[in-house]
């Protein structure tokens, strides 16, 4: 009884288990020592047969049961009610992710190129990623069937599909997936990748992430990781995914095990950018630039006084020659220059050559701090979300449109329960 000795020696008062096998040892040890026992129930666990269900029940024999989602909470109530009583405490704590790791601003273009080279992919087409170990309930077959249906609509090899995950010894299942790919003539289009040590980068290079599970995910970690990396997610409408995804707002849900339903969602996302851009382009000239958003963008400002010598975090950006020419023509002819986002505005204003009265092109960086009194030379309209208090971005929009107007807008946003920060509601403001 090493555990018992260990608990007495270190005076441990609470024991926490997340897996069934060690949980049985922990249960016995806490019963013998009178210590508190806590478990985290983070899966549905297969319970074919009464013996397996008894084995699983150790996860609800604790003093406090933590469910990883509301779905798991309901699952426990429905399937393990005989092990529950009024003294049992059942708590929902959603599984978290490391947002410092899953941060799109920490990944650079050079990293992306290296990964795509390793995957034998040229970034001339969009990439659709399915991440998960190779096992049937993760939905790889549904994914391949959906890719085939999308191809029928768009034409073959209009995009790449990446199935990322180890077979963990399931050789027969992997061979089945390879045969299915061959049957649909997808061998040049689908990449099977066993492992990726930098999943944040994998999400970053992808244009769409898919979670096609045919059995309920307890939480749906892939979905929130993709959301954190600002990559669109499509997931089965079962289990925990229904709690982390609001359909067509924070992601897309499709009918579980339905390849046609999945293909329709993929098509919608593939069409989305081009359709919107084509409609916008009928009246508005769209000019593109590349941005690298720094962490300082989201860092709250301290109490240090701000003056003309104040600098902000440095950010890199790239303005193509054709974009600079387009904007310079617009300025010369009195057109509205609309910046999509505060980082775009900052880059454009930083690239302005006040001597030559033109917007420069090329690779640049800036530590420009925009606050009240700044002279705007390029942008006269801005589309942006509602920013958090104590942020440099709130100072930027106040400088752009005037503090009173912005604060009135924010009062309206609060009163109408609009959403703030990166996934929040947007507004268009003018100088």
**Per-residue H/E/C for 173-201:** HHHHHHHHHHHCCCCCCEEEECCCCCHHH
pLDDT of residue 4: 84
CB 66 within 8 A of CB 16: no
Question: Which fold does the domain 290-430 belong to in CATH?
Answer: QueA-like (3.40.1780)
Q: How far apart, in whole angstroms, are the C-alpha atoms of residue 239 and residue 217? A: 5
Where exactly does CATH 3.40.1780.10 map onto the chain?
Answer: 290-430
Q: How far apart, in whole angstroms, are the C-alpha atoms of residue 251 and residue 248? A: 5
CATH architecture for residues 104-281: 3-Layer(aba) Sandwich (3.40)
Backbone torsion region of residue 235, taken as left when φ is above 0, otherwise alpha when ψ lies between -120 and 50, otherwise beta: beta
**If we measure between CA atoms, which residue out of 103, 142, 97 comes closest to residue 237?**
142
Q: How far apart, in whole angstroms, are the C-alpha atoms of residue 225 and residue 5? A: 40
pLDDT of residue 296: 62
**If we measure between CA atoms, which residue out of 132, 266, 272, 105 comes closest to residue 194?**
132
Residue 38 forms beta bridges with which residues? 16, 64
β-pairing, 290-292 vs 315-319, is antiparallel
pLDDT of residue 129: 98
Where exactly does CATH 3.40.50.2000 map onto the chain?
Answer: 2-92, 104-281
Backbone torsion region of residue 160, taken as left when φ is above 0, otherwise alpha when ψ lies between -120 and 50, otherwise beta: beta
pLDDT of residue 359: 95
**If we measure between CA atoms, which residue out of 71, 74, 43, 48 comes closest to residue 59?**
43
**If we measure between CA atoms, which residue out of 232, 291, 227 comes closest to residue 99?**
227
pTM over 0.75: no
Strands laid side by side in the 36-41 sheet? 14-17, 36-41, 64-67, 89-92
Burial class of residue 45 (count of CB atoms within 10 Å of its CB; 0-12, 13-18, 19+):
middle
Question: Which fold does the domain 2-92 belong to in CATH?
Answer: Rossmann fold (3.40.50)
Q: Per-residue pLDDT tens, the chain, 431 aa: give them.
A: 678 888 888 899 999 999 999 999 999 999 999 999 999 998 888 878 788 899 999 999 999 999 999 999 999 999 999 888 877 889 999 888 998 999 988 888 889 999 999 999 987 789 999 999 999 999 999 999 999 999 988 876 789 999 999 999 989 999 999 999 999 999 999 999 999 999 999 999 999 999 999 999 999 899 999 999 989 999 999 999 999 898 888 899 999 999 999 999 999 888 765 555 555 556 678 888 888 766 666 667 766 666 666 777 788 899 999 999 999 999 999 999 999 988 999 999 999 999 999 999 999 998 888 888 889 999 999 998 888 777 888 889 999 989 899 889 889 888 888 878 766 778 899 88
């Amino acid at each position: 009884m090493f555990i018992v000795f260990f608990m007495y020696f270190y005076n441990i008062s609470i024991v926490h288990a997340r897996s069934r096998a060690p949980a049985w040892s922990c249960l016995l040890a806490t019963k013998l020592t009178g210590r508190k026992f806590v478990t985290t129930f983070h899966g549905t666990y297969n319970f074919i047969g009464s013996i397996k269900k008894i084995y699983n029940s150790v996860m609800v024999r604790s003093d406090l049961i933590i469910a990883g989602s509301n779905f798991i909470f309901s699952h426990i109530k429905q399937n393990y009610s005989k092990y529950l009583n009024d003294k049992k405490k059942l708590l929902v704590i959603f599984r978290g992710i490391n947002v410092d790791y899953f941060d799109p601003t920490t990944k650079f273009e050079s990293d992306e190129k290296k990964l795509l080279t390793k995957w034998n992919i040229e970034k001339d087409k969009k990439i659709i990623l399915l991440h998960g170990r190779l096992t049937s309930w993760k939905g790889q077959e549904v994914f391949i069937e959906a890719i085939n249906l999308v191809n029928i609509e768009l034409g073959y090899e209009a995009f790449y599909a990446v199935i990322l995950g180890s077979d963990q010894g399931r050789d027969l299942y992997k061979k089945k997936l390879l045969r299915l790919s061959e049957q649909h003539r997808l061998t040049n289009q689908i990449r099977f990748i066993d492992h990726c040590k930098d999943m944040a980068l994998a999400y970053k290079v992808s244009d769409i992430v898919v979670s096609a599970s045919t059995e309920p995910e307890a939480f749906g970690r892939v979905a929130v990781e993709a959301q954190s990396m600002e990559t669109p997610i499509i997931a089965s409408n079962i289990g925990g995914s229904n709690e982390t995804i609001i359909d067509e707002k924070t992601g897309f849900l499709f009918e579980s095990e339905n390849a046609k339903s999945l293909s329709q969602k993929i098509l919608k996302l593939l069409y989305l950018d081009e359709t919107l851009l084509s409609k916008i382009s009928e009246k508005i000239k769209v000019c593109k630039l590349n941005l690298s958003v720094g962490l300082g963008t989201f860092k709250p400002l301290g109490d240090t006084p701000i003056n003309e010598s104040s600098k902000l975090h440095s950010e890199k950006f790239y303005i193509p020659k054709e974009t600079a020419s387009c904007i310079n023509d617009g300025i010369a002819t009195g057109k509205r220059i609309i910046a999509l986002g505060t980082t775009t505005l900052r880059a454009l204003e930083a690239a302005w050559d006040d001597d030559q009265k033109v917007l420069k092109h090329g690779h640049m960086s800036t530590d420009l701090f925009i606050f009240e009194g700044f002279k705007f030379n390029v942008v006269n309209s801005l589309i942006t979300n509602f920013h958090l208090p104590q942020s440099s971005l709130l100072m930027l929009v106040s400088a752009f449109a005037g503090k009173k107007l912005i604060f009135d807008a924010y009062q309206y946003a609060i009163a109408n329960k609009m959403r703030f920060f990166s996934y929040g509601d947007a507004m268009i403001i003018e100088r």
